[in-house]
C-alpha cells in the first residue's frame, strides 16, 4: 500500500491533525483522523454512507468543529479563524455538491455572476470571466439558459463553473456525480481532471467505484469514521 505522509511538509496545503468528531448523541463521525494534502493533488475520499466523508468536508469549510484535533488550511487552524475572516477563507475553497444548488430564477450566466459579485469582483471581470469558465465546462452555448432548461449533467457543469470562477486554491466536490447517469458522470470527472491539470487541488468524495478505478489518483478510504487506507494510486477497496 502506497502510504501518504500523515504529517505536514513545508508545502502542505491542508492538514487534518488527529481529528475526532463526536455528536451530542454520542455518535462518532470521525475518530483520530490524520492526513495531509499537497497543492495540486487530486484526492478521492471513499467509503460507505456514514463513513465520515461529508463530516471531513464540513470541517474544511468550517461548518463543523472537531471535538478533538485540528484542521489546518495553508498553516492556519480553520477553527481558530475569527468569524469576520471565515468568508475570505472560504473563498479559497470552491464547492460542488450532489444537488447542484443553483438559483432557479437565474440563468447559467447569472448564477456564476452572482458568485463573483459576492466575492466583490467588478462588472468588467464578470463580463470577461463568466463566458470563459462556461467554455471551460463546454457550456458556452447554454449561457442564457435557466437551470430548469438544463439536464442534470449540464446543471452540475454550471455548478463547477461557479465553483472555479473566483480561482480558488482547492475544489471540494462532495458526491458530485451522485444524481447523474454514467455518461454525465464520466464528463464531470473529465472536467474535474482538466481543472486539476490546470493546477487546482481537487478533493472528491464519492462512493462510485467506477469513478475511482478510472481516475488512478490518490484514494483515502474511510470506514466508521477512521482512515483505513491511503493509497497513492488507489482503487475502490472496501
Which residues are paired to 222 by β-bridges?
A: 227
3 occurs within a structural domain = no
Q: What is the Cα–Cα distance from 103 to 40, expressed in whole angstroms? A: 30
80 occurs within a structural domain = no
With 80 as the cut, is the pLDDT of residue 66 above it?
A: yes
100 occurs within a structural domain = yes
What tens digit of pLDDT does each residue of 204-230 get?
A: 998 888 888 888 899 999 999 999 999
Q: Which residues contact 15 (CB under 8 A, 6 or more apart)?
A: 7, 8, 35, 36, 37, 71, 72
- 3-class SS string, 148-181: HHCCHHHHHHHHHHHHHCCCCCEEEEECCCCCCC
The DSSP letter of residue 211 is H
1 occurs within a structural domain = no
Number of domains making up the chain: 1
10 Å CB burial of residue 71 (0-12, 13-18, 19+) is: buried
CB 34 within 8 A of CB 9: no
119 occurs within a structural domain = yes
236 occurs within a structural domain = no
Q: What is the Cα–Cα distance from 149 to 116, expressed in whole angstroms? A: 23
163 occurs within a structural domain = yes
Q: What is the Cα–Cα distance from 159 to 122, expressed in whole angstroms? A: 21
At 8 the pLDDT is 55
At 46 the pLDDT is 92
Residue 111 backbone phi and psi in degrees, to 5 = -60, -45
With 70 as the cut, is the pLDDT of residue 81 above it?
A: yes
Domain CATH number, residue 147: 3.40.50.300
Q: What is the Cα–Cα distance from 66 to 51, expressed in whole angstroms? A: 16
Higher pLDDT, 149 or 236: 149
Q: What is the Cα–Cα distance from 161 to 208, expressed in whole angstroms? A: 22
What is the pLDDT averaged over residues 3-28? Answer: 80
What is the pLDDT averaged over residues 56-76? Answer: 93
Query: What is the CB neighbour count within 10 angstroms for residue 219?
Result: 25
| Burial profile 133-143: b = 16 or more Cβ within 10 angstroms, e = fewer | bbebbebeebb
For the CA atoms of 69, 74, 80, 84, the dihedral, rounded to the nearest 10 degrees, stands at -150
Domain that holds residue 102: 41-62+90-231
141 occurs within a structural domain = yes
At 204 the pLDDT is 95
Percent of the chain with pLDDT over 70: 94
At 10 the pLDDT is 56
Amino acid at each position: 500500500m502506497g502510504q501518504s505522509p500523515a504529517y505536514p511538509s513545508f508545502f502542505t496545503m491542508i492538514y487534518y491533525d488527529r481529528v475526532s468528531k463526536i455528536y451530542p448523541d454520542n455518535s462518532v463521525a470521525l475518530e483520530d483522523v490524520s492526513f495531509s494534502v499537497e497543492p495540486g493533488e487530486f484526492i478521492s475520499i471513499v467509503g460507505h454512507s456514514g463513513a465520515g466523508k461529508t463530516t471531513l468536508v464540513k470541517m474544511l469549510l468550517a461548518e463543523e468543529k472537531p471535538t478533538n484535533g485540528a484542521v489546518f488550511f495553508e498553516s492556519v487552524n480553520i477553527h481558530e479563524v475569527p468569524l469576520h475572516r471565515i468568508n475570505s477563507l472560504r473563498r479559497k475553497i470552491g464547492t460542488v455538491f450532489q444537488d447542484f444548488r443553483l438559483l432557479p430564477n437565474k440563468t447559467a450566466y447569472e448564477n456564476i455572476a452572482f458568485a463573483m459579485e459576492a466575492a466583490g469582483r467588478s462588472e468588467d471581470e464578470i463580463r470577461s470571466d463568466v463566458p470563459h469558465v462556461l467554455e471551460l465546462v463546454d457550456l458556452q452555448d447554454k449561457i442564457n439558459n435557466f437551470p430548469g432548461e438544463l439536464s442534470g449533467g449540464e446543471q452540475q457543469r454550471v455548478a463547477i463553473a461557479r465553483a472555479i470562477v473566483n480561482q480558488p486554491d482547492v475544489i471540494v466536490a462532495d458526491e458530485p456525480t451522485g444524481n447523474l447517469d454514467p455518461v454525465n458522470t464520466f464528463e464531470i470527472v473529465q472536467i474535474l481532471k482538466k481543472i486539476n491539470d490546470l493546477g487546482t487541488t481537487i478533493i472528491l468524495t464519492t462512493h462510485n467505484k467506477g469513478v475511482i478505478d478510472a481516475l488512478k489518483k490518490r484514494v483515502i478510504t474511510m470506514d466508521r469514521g477512521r482512515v483505513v487506507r491511503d493509497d497513492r494510486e488507489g482503487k475502490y477497496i472496501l
